[in-house]
């Protein structure tokens, strides 16, 4: 029950759902997530901590970059099933398509430049 409740709470926020969907395209650094969501870096970090606590995402640090990806097979069944459900339920939503298009543009940008623009470096 505890795993389910943690996952449910993590998915109870639109920004966190948007992050999960973006991570469906591959690993992202925090600066890319900040750019996609248009939120303050501290707010994004809080969202990422909640997703990580629910074991919906994994993270790795590479130099000054923090990268996130969808949780792997070692995630609890509740987390894997919830992620799959989110992807199925919002698949055709227009906002998801807008984010996917925006993410393609963001991935073309230089991470160092994004970092500087966000005053993270």
The domain spanning residue 51 has which CATH number? 1.10.10.10
Q: What is the pLDDT of residue 121?
A: 56
Classified as helix, coil or strand, 45 is helix
Domain hosting 53: range is 2-117
Residues 6+ apart with CB under 8 A from 28: 22, 36, 67, 68, 69
Q: What is the pLDDT of residues 66-114, one digit of tens each?
A: 999 999 888 988 899 999 999 999 988 999 999 999 999 999 999 888 8
Q: For residue 42, what are its two tokens?
A: 């501290």
Higher pLDDT, 119 or 62: 62
The total number of structural domains that make up the chain: 1
Cβ–Cβ under 8 Å, residues 58 and 72: yes
pLDDT confidence tier of residue 120, bands split at 50, 70 and 90 = low
Residues 6+ apart with CB under 8 A from 93: none
């Amino acid at each position: 029950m505890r795993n389910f409740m943690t996952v449910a709470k993590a998915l109870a926020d639109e920004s966190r759902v948007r992050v999960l969907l973006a991570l469906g395209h591959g690993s992202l650094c925090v600066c890319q997530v900040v750019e996609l969501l248009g939120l303050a870096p501290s707010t994004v970090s809080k969202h990422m901590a909640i997703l990580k606590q629910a074991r919906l995402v994994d993270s790795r640090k590479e130099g000054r970059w923090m990268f996130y990806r969808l949780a792997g097979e070692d995630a609890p069944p509740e987390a894997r099933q919830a992620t799959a459900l989110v992807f199925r339920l919002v698949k055709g939503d227009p906002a998801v398509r807008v984010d996917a298009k925006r993410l393609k543009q963001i991935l073309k940008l230089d991470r160092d430049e994004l970092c500087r623009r966000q005053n993270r470096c």
